[in-house]
Chains A and B, each alone.
Chain A
C-alpha cells in the first residue's frame, strides 16, 4: 500500500535478467487508455484551419491515396470547434470539453504513423510493436521487465469496455511468447472480479482453512524429504500469496467506498459516464496498490451497431457518443492523479490504432459524414511523469492526412514509454524464434524532445 506516498521496491520480482531500472525512472507505473476503432485527429487535437477552407473540395492527392475501403470523398472540416486551452494554449476541440480543462497536463504527439490501416494488425502494432498474432503486449513486457510493487495483485491488469471485449478478445492482452504469467489479467467491475478467486462451490471457511493448512503440511514434508527444491518451495509460498490476493482483490474493487465527490469527479454519477468512470477509478486504485500497468479499453468489437470509435458512417454521431462516455472520466482521472501526487511518478497514455481521413468515406464527388481509417497521420497523447507538459510534438500536413514533421512510428512511441518507465528498450529482451526479441523489434528512438530534461 502506498498510503503515505512511500514506494516499496518491486515485490513481485521481474523475470528479465537485466535488472530494472536501467536508468533513473521518472515513472514507476502506467495506465493505458486504448481507444478501439481509430479516433479522429482532425476532430480532436490536430487543428487544421485549412480543412475549413477546403471543406467540400476534392482532395488533391487522390491518385496516391490508398485507404481501407477505397472510397475518397470530399474534404471535410472538423465537426467540433477548436480552441486554445489553458496556459499552454494547446489546441483541443469541443469533442473533449473536460479533457480540455487539463490540457496543460498533456503531451500530444500529432505525427504518429502506422504500418497498416487494418484494425487488428494495427491494434497489435499499437500494443506489441508487431502486426501479427503471438507477440507480447507492452503490459506483458512490463510485467516481465519490472515485476510489480505488490504480490497481492497481478502486475498487468486489463479492464475491457463494459459493452464488450475488443475484436479478438484476449488476443489483445496476450503474453505472446513470454511466460503465460505475464498476460493481462481481466478484472471485472461486477461479479467475481477475477477467475477462480474463490471456490466455485460452497466450501465452509473452516474446511477451506483446514485444507490449506493440510496442504502446507503435506508440501512441507514432501519438500523436506527431498532435501531442497526451489520451485517446490515457491509453490508453497504461492499459496500464501493466493490467500492474500483473496483479500486484496475484493478490497481494491470496492470502489463504492470512495467519496461521493470522487465518484462525481469520475462521472460515476451520470449514466453516460458511469461505465468508464468506474473503470478509471478502479484503475487508479489498482495502481495505488502496486499494480504496474493497467490497460483500459474504450470501445468493443467492430460491426453494427457500432460500439467503438470506428466512425465510417457518421462522425458526429459516432465520435460524439464515444467521447461523451470517456471525456469526463479521463479528465477526472488526471485531476485525481494530480491531486494525490501520483501523477509525479505515473504515466498516462492515450492512443488508438490509427486516425481518420480528412476526407469523407464516400463517392468522390460527395461530402459524406464519415471518415475512413488513416494510418499515415494521427495523434496520441501522454501525461504524467518525465514529460514536458502542455506541448504538441510533430505535425501532419496542411489537412491532417500524413505526418510530415517529426514522424513518429509506434516503435519510437514504445521506446519513449519504456524510457519513461526506466527501461532501455534495447535491453528489455526475451529470446524467441532465433532472436532476442524486443517490444521495439530492431527499431525505435526515444523522442527526447518531449522529455522533461
Chain B
C-alpha cells in the first residue's frame, strides 16, 4: 500500500489510498482517474507514470488529450463522421473520410492533417505544445497506452469526467486546527472548526451567538416546523443549565412533528402528488400511506440506507409487509399518463412508457445520487460521466416498475378480519335458526308443485348445437377469426376469434346475462364470455374472467365504471367442466353475480343501469368489448350455451335455471317468516352485511405503489427514440461512481425483483460516495437555506463546487460511521456554533461574501408555505395535531372526463391539520400556498424559490383562512390573557414572535386595538415580517 497526497482538484484537497494490487479494474480506473487529475486540467505525462501503466512505452501518452479534445464527438454509438477514436484499431480504420491514423507517418494521417490545418477540433484548436505531442505520438507509432480510452474519464473545462470530485471515495478529513483563539473559543463542534478555518482564510470572523429566544424559535421551526409555545419558551429561558439548548433540541427531535416537518421536505424531492396529472388528473385516494411511511421513518430514525432500500425495493426485500409496499410509493409518486398508456397506437404507447421511465430513473438518480441521469436518455450526458448505455442499464433495473394500486394486509387488519369472520359465523347460526323452518316448508311445497321448477324465459338463447343462430329471438351471430361451433360448443382460441350478433331490435336496460362456459385454462386474464355493447364497442356490460383479479368472475364494463372485482372465491373448476355464470343488472343499478346458481360475492350498487339502445347495440361472445380482436380482451374457452333475459332474475330463478332448486331467496323467507320475527331477522342480516362489508373493505385495502411486472427487454434507444432500438442493456449501475461495482451480475432477462434489489444495494453501498454526500448536503440545505453544494439534486458538473468540501465529506463519513442515523446529523448541525450564530447582517462581511456562502452569520429564512400555514394554525390555537391518516380535502371535485378540483377553504377542526396532510393534487393548487412558493408537485423540487409579489401580500391580507385564523387567535388571546389590553398584546407577541412586547410597543398598539379590535391586530401581526421570518 502506498499513500499519495494529491493536490487540490477545483479546490478540493483529499488524500487517496492506492492499492497496487487492485483487482477490480473499475476501481483501478477510478483511482487512476483521481491521480490523473493532479494539477487540475493540464496533465503532464509524468503524472501517469505514478500508477500501473498498461504498458511501458517510449511514445508520449495522449489519452488525456484525446479524451478531452476529441472524444466528445468521436466516440459512442454514433460518432461524428463515423470516426471513433477511443480504440487504436478503430482509429486506424477511420471514418467516413478514410483511415485517420497511419502509425509512424503523421503526414499521411488524416487526424494529423486536420489538426495541423486547424480544422479540428473545431473552433478551439490545439495548443502548439499539444500539436507537437500529437505529431510525435503518431510518429512514434500511435500506441494507445489505454485502449480503449474511456471518453468520460477526464474532467474538462466543459464537463465532468470520472475524476469529478463527488464521484471519489469519501475519506474522513481531520477537522482543521484553528489558529485564532477567539474563533477556537467560538467553535462548539467539528463543524465549526471547518467553518471557522474557511472564514479565517477569507478574512472573516463568525457572528456571535443569537439570543436564546431566537435560538429556540429557529430550532423549533427548523426541526418540527412549528413555533415554540410561550410555555416552552418560558421553560427554556428559565433553564439555566449548560445543556438547556441541547435538551430542547433533543425534545424537538423526539417530537412526532419532526417527522412531519422533514417528510414535507422529502416529498418535495420525490415529486409526491395525490392525483395522476396529465389529461385525466384522477384522484389517487390511496397515495397517502407513502407519506405516512416517510413521516414514520423519520420519526423512528430509520437508518437512511434502509430508508432508501425500502423505497426502491421494499416490496421484495420484505415481502408481504404492508409498510414496505407503501415505501415503494416513492418510485411512482410522479404523474401517470393514463390516456397515453392506453392509447391504440403501440408506437405512441412506447414513447409514453419511455417518458415514464425517464421520470422514475431521473428522480431516483437525483434523489439518491445527485446525478441527473435523465440527461443521458438521448445521448451521453453532456456534463457528467454518464453514458447513454448506462442510462438504459439503469432503466433496465427499473423496467418492471409500473404505477398502480396494491392490496396490503397488516397483522392488525388480519386480526380484525378474524374477529369479524367469527362474528359472521355466529350471526349466520342465529339467522339459520330462524329461517330453517321456513326453508324446509318452501322446499316441501316446491317438491309437490312441478310448476315451481319451471325455468324463466329468456329473450335470446344461443345453444351452439349447429350454428350461431339465436333460438328464440332475431339476434343471430357472425363468426370472426377462427371462431367455430363443434360438438355443441362455441370454440374460441383467445387470439382472433369471437362472435358478434346483429344489432338489438329492442333497447335493453334491466337485464340478466347467463352462460355455461368451460375455460381452456384458469390463469388467462381479461377475456369476455358474453358482452352487451354499443356497436362501436365503447360502452359495455360483460361477464369477464380474471381481468382485474386473477381467476375471478367480474361484471366488466367500460372503464370499470360499473365493475367491482373483489369478494368472489377463485375459480377452480371451470377448466374441467362447463360452469354456470350469471350476472343480474337490476333497474336500481344493483349488480348481482352468480356462479353455479348461487350468489357470487356481494351485490353492489353500480351507479347504473345503462340503456343499450336498439340498432346501436349488439352482443359479442369471446371478446370483452370492441369491434376487432386483440389485447387481453379475448377468451380462450368452449361456450356451451348463452342466454339473455330482458329483466333482472331473482335468486330462485337463477337457481332454477342453473338447476339448483334447493335455493330459497331472502325475499321468500322474509314473506313467510312470522311477522314478529322479521325485525330480528333483518337486524341480524344488517349486522352480517355490515361485518361482511367491513371484511371486504379490509381485504381490499390498497396503497398506490409499485405494481411490478416482469420486465420487457430493455434496448438502448438511439436518440431516445423507441422506434430506433440498438443493443440490449442489462440491469446495471454507472461505472463513474467510484468504489462500487456497477455490474449487478444480472442477465437481460433477470427477474424483476432481483433488479431492484441489486439496484438498491448498489445505491446504498457504504462505498458509494454520492449516497451519503447527497443526503448530508440536502439536510444542510434545509437548515441553512443553501446547501454546501447549492444544487441538492445535482452534485455533477452543473451543480457547482462545494463551499466546504472537507466539511461535506466529514459529515458524510460521520453519517456512514454512525449507522446512517439522521437525527444524529441534525443534532450535530443544530448544536454547532455555526448554526447558533446571530442573523444580523454585518456590512464588512456583506462586502466580501454577500450570499453568506462562508457562513459568517445564520441567514434569516422566510417560512415556507406549509410552515406558514401550520404556524398560523398553531398561534391561533387551532392546530389539529393528529399525525397520519387519510388527507384532508380542501376542494370539491367533479368528473367531466378529466377530474376537476375546485379549491375551497373549508372551516372545521378536521381541516386544521398540518399542511402536509393536505391532498396534494397536481391541478388543484392552493392560492395561499402557491403565493408562498409551494412547488408544482409534478416535478422534483430540490430547493424552493423564495419570492415576494403583490399577489402574495394580497393572499396573506385577504385570504379567508388568514382572516378566520385572525379571529380565532383574538378569541384565544382573550381566553389566555383575560380582558387586560396590555396582557393581550403581550400574549400576541409571545405567540407570534416568541418574545414579549415592550411597554412602548404596547403603548403604540393599544389605540389601534381600541379602535379596530383584536382580530385586526392579529391580522397585522400574521402579515408582519417578524412573524414570517425565522432569524
Contact = CB atoms under 8 A, between A and B. Distances in A.
Contacts of B841: 226-229
Given A171-B922, A228-B841, A435 B375 contact: yes
A89 interface: no
Contacts, number: 269
B963 interface: yes
A219 B993 CA distance: 13
Nearest to A303: B897
Interface string B580-606: 000000000000000000000000000
Nearest to A201: B963
Chain A contact surface mostly: loop
A435 B1020 contact: no
A187 to B, nearest CB: 12
Interface string A161-192: 00011011111001111111101010000000
Given A169-B901, A196-B955, A211-B1019, A231 B946 contact: yes
B958 A196 contact: yes
A238 interface: yes
Contacts of B930: 180, 183
A154 interface: yes
Contacts of A60: none
A372 to B, nearest CB: 10
Nearest to B1019: A211
A250 interface: no
Contacts of B936: 133-134, 174-177, 180, 183
A434 B896 contact: no
B938 A133 contact: yes
B793 to A, nearest CB: 7
Contacts of B352: 116, 118, 121
A207 to B, nearest CB: 4
Interface in A209-250: 210-212, 214-215, 217-219, 222-223, 226-229, 231-232, 234-236, 238-239, 241-242, 244-246
Contact of B796 (A167, A185, A434): A434
A131 B954 contact: no
Given A207-B1012, A211-B1020, A435-B372, A133 B954 contact: no
- Output the residue of B627, B843, B930 with the most chain A CB within 10 A: B930
A434 B366 contact: yes
A131 B352 CA distance: 9
A207 B939 CA distance: 42
Contact of A434 (B339, B340, B798, B1011): B798
Given A181-B951, A218-B1020, A223-B1025, A68 B281 contact: no
A46 interface: no
B952 to A, nearest CB: 7
Contacts of A181: 933, 945, 947, 949, 951-952
B963 A134 contact: no
Nearest to A207: B1012
Nearest to B346: A66
Contacts of B335: 132-134
B272 to A, nearest CB: 13
A434 B383 contact: yes
A433 B372 contact: yes
B627 to A, nearest CB: 8
Nearest to A231: B948
A355 B959 CA distance: 42
A390 to B, nearest CB: 36
Contact of A131 (B339, B343, B355, B366): B355
B1029 interface: yes
B390 to A, nearest CB: 15
B436 interface: no
A235 B897 CA distance: 42
B862 interface: yes
A302 interface: yes
B891 to A, nearest CB: 11
B949 A238 contact: yes
Given A170-B923, A180-B945, A241-B950, A66 B794 contact: no
A219 B957 contact: no
B954 A215 contact: no
Contacts of A170: 923-925
A222 B924 contact: no
Contacts of B1026: 218, 222
A199 B1015 CA distance: 13
A61 to B, nearest CB: 15
A54 interface: no
Contacts of A301: 896-898, 900
B429 interface: no
A174 B938 contact: yes
B580 to A, nearest CB: 36
B372 to A, nearest CB: 2
Contact of B951 (A68, A135, A185, A206): A185
Interface residues of A, number: 86
A253 B364 CA distance: 46
B928 interface: yes
Contact of A116 (B351, B905, B931, B1004): B351
Contacts of A195: 927, 955, 959
Nearest to A223: B1025
A434 B928 contact: no
A67 interface: yes
A211 B627 CA distance: 68
A168 B281 contact: yes
A173 to B, nearest CB: 10
A168 B1023 contact: no
Contacts of A197: 954, 958
A120 interface: yes
A70 B905 CA distance: 44
Contacts of A228: 841
Given A195-B927, A245-B954, A303-B896, A168 B278 contact: yes
A69 B1028 CA distance: 53
B340 A118 contact: yes
B274 to A, nearest CB: 14
B923 A171 contact: yes
A26 to B, nearest CB: 29
Interface string A129-151: 00111110000000000000001
Contacts of B796: 434
Interface in B793-846: 793-794, 796, 798-799, 840-841, 843
Nearest to A244: B950
A196 B955 CA distance: 5
A45 B954 CA distance: 45
A434 B365 CA distance: 11
Interface in B361-382: 362, 366, 371-372, 374-375, 382
A228 B841 CA distance: 7
B351 A302 contact: no
Interface in A362-387: 363
Given A168-B281, A169-B924, A435-B372, A226 B840 contact: yes
Contact of B374 (A236, A300, A303, A434): A434
B1024 A196 contact: no
19 contacts: A68-B343, A118-B337, A131-B351, A133-B939, A167-B279, A169-B924, A170-B924, A171-B278, A176-B936, A179-B947, A181-B933, A199-B958, A200-B959, A200-B960, A215-B1024, A227-B840, A227-B843, A434-B793, A435-B383
Interface of B: 271, 277-281, 334-335, 337, 339-340, 343-345, 347-348, 351-352, 355, 359, 362, 366, 371-372, 374-375, 382-384, 627, 791, 793-794, 796, 798-799, 840-841, 843, 860, 862, 896-898, 900-901, 905, 922-925, 927-928, 930-931, 933-936, 938-941, 945-955, 957-960, 963-964, 1004-1005, 1008, 1011-1013, 1016-1017, 1019-1021, 1023-1026, 1028-1029
Given A215-B1024, A434-B366, A435-B382, 15 more contacts: A118-B339, A167-B897, A169-B923, A177-B941, A181-B947, A231-B862, A235-B1025, A300-B896, A302-B897, A432-B939, A433-B362, A433-B939, A434-B371, A434-B375, A434-B798
